[in-house]
Chain A
Amino acid sequence: MFGYVVINKPELKFREFDEYRGFYCGLCHSLKEQFGGSAQLTLNYDLTFLAILLTALYEPQTQTIQSRCLLHPLKKQQQYQNIYLDYCAKMTVLMSYYHCEDDWEDERKWTRRVEMQLLKEKKEAIEREYPVKCRLIQEEMAAIRQMEQHQEKDPDTMANAFGRIMGSLFEVHEDHWSKTLRETGFYLGKFIYLIDAWEDVEKDVRSGNYNLFKDRFEEVDFDEKMMEILEMMMADCTRSFETLPIFDYREILRNILYSGVWTRAALIRKKKEEKKNEKSV
């Protein structure tokens, strides 16, 4: 579910890439400071994106520090620190816990159970800090599980539920920007849900797991239709995003939303085409 909201690196300037790293490393650092070393393994790109978006919108006081880390012991890395990176670190841990819980319910992988136990106390502290948000997320995840059990086929119905989860992560304060941030998160969340389902459909069909597209993925032009739908999601996401009065880090954010998100899509498309060609040979 994570790893789609990435940069298209060759299209970023060096300075922009350093700034991106500043957020990524900053998020990693915040995870460690707030939740300990094990939490650093939950680091992901999607919430890095959110940290950059919130920083650009709210322009909080941000420190830049130079620090070493285990994976980069020789050269100090530039890291940013601010309240939104701390917020995103909390949301990272929260979402990791819920995903582990979900996987445990579905697939009973003992590794997920172990991870759940490691994250449990941290997650509970976050739930106490954000009770309304967490309740909403849990309700939507429960709704998703139920709809999966009933083999829901409508893409909007399923993707909207995940969209609402992302929307609620994007909305930090109840303020003037709530609606726009929620909308931006909502359509990005829909994109993520749909591309994830698209990527995994063959695997899920083989293993008998639920997948939104399991009855449709062998239709002619299915992959083309998917690309159109995904493009629709990003178009609606960016339509909201562009109404925000953002200037800082804008090129990084645009790189991700207009280009980076298609990196994985390109790979998925390629793999599926090759599979089709193999079959027809």
Chain B
Amino acid sequence: MRNPYEVLGVSAQASDDEVKKAYRTLSKKYHPDANINNPNKEAYTEKFKEVQNAYDQIMQMRKNGTSFQSGRSTYGSYGGSSEASDFEDIFTSFFTGQSYQQRQQYQSREEMYFSAVRNYIMQGYFEEGLNVLSQMSERNALWYYYSAICHANLGSNITAREHAQTAVSMEPNNPEYVRLLNQLQSGRAQYRQRYQTYQNPMAAYSSCCYQLIFWNLLLNCCCGPRMC
């Protein structure tokens, strides 16, 4: 896997804007629509896809707080780890007669459920993962951890954070749980940073000043918009 920063021709320390500018320049250059009469059209189209993928990769890594390491792939946006090869074994042996029995000796019922959940997570089937979790009666820290991952990937961020917090409070020294919680909360710190650069409507209205608020909303209004 080629280093995505190399594809875009920027350093790994480049700012987001520098990455974006590089993307814009290269994507315009290699865009299929811009190269209809180009004899190298096919090569350019390949390059265009490469540029798009490189951009995506960099933005996803930066969004998730991970960095590029060649040869490794993370699964899912949340809860990524390097256990892929172990899970493959469990997955295949789950369905192979003899090793299934062997597995049964060593695995408690709970472990079997958790195996299934891990597999679903790895393959991106988060609803199915939640389904399996709902069949488990005991809800320990690991249960909440997996539940948080599934909910986060389904957009249920409120529940995801609650469950991640529960996992951490049940096992505060587990680094995986703490990492997940931090990942889920990191967006807010970044959001607040930007949000504080604006004259905050909340601060402005801490004194009784409905007029200011109405005036702002009115000034927004050009032609009396519809408010359902």
Contacts and interface: CB of A to CB of B under 8 A. Distances in A.
A25 B59 contact: no
A168 to B, nearest CB: 13
Contact of A232 (B188, B200, B217): B188
A72 B17 CA distance: 39
Nearest to B156: A156
Contact of A43 (B159, B195, B201, B225): B225
A81 interface: no
Interface in A209-259: 229, 231-236, 238-240, 242-243, 245-247, 254-255, 258-259
A262 B224 CA distance: 20
A160 interface: yes
A96 B228 contact: yes
B55 interface: yes
A145 interface: no
Given A254-B194, A270-B210, A229 B158 contact: yes
B29 interface: no
Interface string B155-191: 1111101000000000000000000000000011011
B219 A9 contact: yes
Interface string A32-75: 00000000111111000000000000000000000001011000
B45 interface: no
29 contacts: A2-B228, A3-B225, A3-B227, A8-B198, A8-B216, A40-B223, A42-B226, A44-B225, A44-B226, A44-B227, A45-B225, A71-B222, A156-B157, A156-B159, A160-B156, A190-B155, A232-B157, A235-B191, A239-B190, A239-B191, A245-B20, A247-B17, A247-B20, A258-B194, A258-B198, A259-B200, A262-B200, A263-B220, A267-B205
Nearest to A10: B199
A77 B163 CA distance: 51
B93 interface: no
Interface in A11-45: 11, 21, 24-25, 28, 40-45
Interface residues of A, number: 64
Contact of A24 (B59, B63, B188, B222): B222
A259 B195 contact: yes
Given A10-B216, A156-B157, A236 B201 contact: no
B11 interface: no
A202 to B, nearest CB: 18
B223 A71 contact: yes
Given A239-B190, A243-B63, A186 B155 contact: yes
B225 A9 contact: no
Nearest 5 pairs of A and B residues by beta carbon: A156-B156, A259-B198, A235-B191, A235-B187, A243-B59
Given A160-B155, A232-B188, A11 B222 contact: no
Given A2-B228, A11-B199, A99-B228, 20 more contacts: A2-B225, A6-B220, A21-B222, A44-B227, A96-B228, A103-B228, A156-B157, A160-B154, A183-B155, A234-B191, A238-B190, A239-B63, A239-B187, A239-B190, A243-B62, A247-B17, A247-B20, A258-B194, A258-B198, A266-B201
A9 B223 contact: no
B205 A45 contact: no
Contacts of B30: none
Given A231-B188, A254-B194, A269 B219 contact: no
Given A235-B191, A258-B194, A8 B226 contact: no
A7 interface: yes
B210 to A, nearest CB: 7
B87 to A, nearest CB: 25
Contact of B188 (A69, A156, A235, A255): A235
A131 interface: no
A11 B222 CA distance: 17
Contact of A270 (B157, B194, B205): B205
Contacts of B20: 245-247
A235 B205 contact: no
A71 B222 CA distance: 8
B213 A266 contact: yes
Contacts of B62: 243
B60 interface: yes
Interface in A61-112: 69, 71-72, 77, 96, 99, 103
